[in-house]
Chain A
């Protein structure tokens, strides 16, 4: 591992890395804020012709995604266990919880991929061929949906890779009790991705 730069005499009482992650998350949150502000503006302008999500996705679509949300929240819970076990020094258990976290992320991506395929092929064929008729409602319903869920999905994918790296670190003994903060920082990112999903889910599917 590279030499870590030490905190100075006057500090905030945490490692540099944690402040780095928090500030990065501020910036990432603002990227989502930009997309969400665009969504809000397109949807809630007079005469936007925005459909009701509940009717458009259908009950199955929303319930499938609700289940997916549940899985993502569970993977956040298991991430908490990874940190707790690492701090206690139970590295084997920490590894297993990390595997569960990675699995949760992969499951989420799989369901999202299925949903995207279904929506683009069956509901929004105009996206692939210019000849197909666009839907009767504002087609930005589809654009913003893909934009928001896609950008979030990319974050989940990065998070899965991040977690795999942490998992390998645990397995190879490079992460243990003494530098458990590396797990904590990875956890910050993973919980953030979870939190953003709850916002996106609420905006795009529920209201």
Chain B
């Protein structure tokens, strides 16, 4: 019994489960404990990330040299869309939901999420949805070949696989709104004593803001998908997107991007929050500008709702409208810049310790800035008309989503792994993983900016031979980038057997509540409801925490 005490929430609950693997696994898949559900989300997300990665490797093999190489063009056409669908809906978003499930209730001092069974149901929708999306490859005529955006008329004309894809998207949206309802109810109503809204850790804040984004944007995607499906199923009766029947294909794009621009923030704000936990811990200094950090996330979310048409600059909408969207889009760089500088100011004068999570956090700041800047370039109407649907856009989104979201996901997994499992990963291998990942993200994606500038279109099966050398470099980079992720997965599995045991405060400098309880945490997080000791978040000289005086470089 003492041994299973040390295993916290990982330990079996009943004697049956203690003696048989079958019952132990059954206990997991039916568990309503947010920590277990969180881990299931993470494992599922990683699995989908691997499949999505395989699809991207297939793309890069095909594009390694000009001409048809290993597959047919119809099969190739399905790859970009399926890769994006898996990575966005089944990898990045679920992993953040999983980390949130594990960390948020503990950070606010709650025993669990507000609706544990809703939580479990929301998780199990995902594997079903993933099976539907992937099974599109098994039906006649295969998976849809219209990219992840599903624009009509292509998506109206596509074969059966498209119906499976649409149904999967609706299910995923349902699952993530269920999680959002749960997060908001938990955070608003289940905080421990003294955990007022502006005492909450920034990771919790980021999930609140993300949940509002999900709540307000995902249903609009659902409405677009339902209209699309109606038009596909009853072509005689519904003509929403069909100009011949008085409909409007651009309407679909408006509805789609009303979700899919905020989706970018759904995929990066939890990362921002997570970095705001990692950097103070490894700088041994409180976060700089706490309130501004929270408000800038809110500002990003609000602005995120009024910029969607920047994806539609070439659809012929009025120039005045495009100018407004261009301006608003560029405005988002302001709160994002505030966050970058606050992270730097937190590190400034801190006593830095470059463990793997910190390396990923710092690497994220550096490379995400590149993605942010290319975003400002694309926001400019005349430039975008030139670069629209080229590899420049591909480079931009991958700097935002790989150098952004994926780097923060790794930072978070390394940061909370000792808390989740009670074991440390191998630090040397973690650092190796960081350096190889960082180098090969740049090898893979930086050169795609040049490809785009020179006019190589995205989603094409074949290309002009002048682009060959750059594509070869990008492909080689992607092979290395993909393979090194397995080193990290191996490291995590290794840690379960041989990793060093983690203390409650595994990094010694964690300030939030999860570092007060054992690693891994017990089943109900806290033996009794904790009381939060309020932190002065100001930088006031007398009352607030001190900003250490800096020696000037000249001295």
Contacts and interface: CB of A to CB of B under 8 A. Distances in A.
B196 A10 contact: yes
B554 interface: no
B209 to A, nearest CB: 14
A48 B240 CA distance: 12
A12 B188 contact: yes
A3 to B, nearest CB: 9
A175 interface: no
A9 B237 contact: no
Given A9-B529, A129-B236, A34 B189 contact: no
B218 A27 contact: yes
Given A16-B185, A23-B180, A41-B254, A140 B245 contact: yes
Interface size class of A (residues with CB under 8 A): 35 or more
A26 to B, nearest CB: 5
B255 A143 contact: no
Interface string B187-216: 011111111100000000000000100011
Contacts of A140: 239-240, 245-247
A191 interface: no
Contacts of B190: 5-8, 11, 16
Contacts of B239: 139-140, 143
A49 B219 CA distance: 29
A31 B220 contact: yes
A16 B211 CA distance: 16
A25 to B, nearest CB: 10
Interface size class of B (residues with CB under 8 A): 35 or more
B163 interface: no
Given A42-B240, A127-B234, A140-B245, A5 B114 contact: yes
A20 interface: yes
Contacts of A9: 191-195, 529
B195 A34 contact: no
Nearest to A146: B237
B117 interface: yes
B230 A147 contact: yes
* Interface SS of chain A: helix
Interface stretch (B50-58, B104-112, B414-422, B537-545): B104-112
Interface string B245-289: 111100100110010000000000000000000000000000000
B130 interface: no
A30 B215 contact: yes
Contact of B238 (A6, A32, A37, A147): A147
A19 B195 CA distance: 18
A16 to B, nearest CB: 4
Given A8-B192, A126-B236, A147-B227, A23 B529 contact: no
Contacts of A151: 226
A38 B240 contact: yes
Contacts of A48: 246
Contacts of A6: 190
Contacts of B117: 2
Contacts of A41: 248, 251, 254
Nearest to A142: B237
A160 B529 CA distance: 40
Contacts of B215: 23, 26-27, 30
Interface in A38-58: 38, 41-42, 45, 48-49
Interface string B525-538: 00001000000000
Given A5-B190, A10-B196, A12-B188, A31 B219 contact: yes
Contacts of A45: 248
B224 interface: yes
* Interface SS of chain B: helix
Interface in A132-148: 134, 138-140, 142-144, 146-147
B223 interface: yes
A10 B191 contact: yes
A202 B258 CA distance: 25
A35 interface: yes
Contacts of A207: none
B181 A23 contact: yes
A7 B193 CA distance: 11
A34 B194 contact: no
Residue in A20, A27, A33 whose Cβ sees the most chain B Cβ within 10 Å: A27
A23 B118 CA distance: 14
Contacts of B182: 20
Given A8-B108, A8-B189, A9-B529, A38 B227 contact: yes
Contacts of B111: 5
A127 B237 CA distance: 4
Nearest to B237: A127
B116 interface: yes
Contacts of B166: none
A7 B240 CA distance: 45
B551 to A, nearest CB: 41
A24 interface: yes
23 contacts: A5-B112, A5-B190, A9-B192, A9-B529, A11-B188, A23-B184, A23-B185, A24-B181, A26-B215, A27-B177, A30-B220, A32-B223, A33-B223, A38-B224, A41-B248, A49-B246, A139-B239, A139-B245, A143-B238, A143-B239, A147-B226, A147-B238, A147-B240
Given A9-B195, A31-B223, 20 more contacts: A5-B114, A8-B110, A16-B186, A19-B188, A20-B115, A23-B215, A30-B216, A31-B220, A34-B220, A34-B224, A35-B223, A37-B255, A41-B254, A42-B240, A42-B251, A48-B246, A127-B234, A127-B236, A147-B227, A151-B226
Interface of A: 2, 5-12, 14-16, 19-20, 23-24, 26-28, 30-35, 37-38, 41-42, 45, 48-49, 124, 126-130, 134, 138-140, 142-144, 146-147, 151
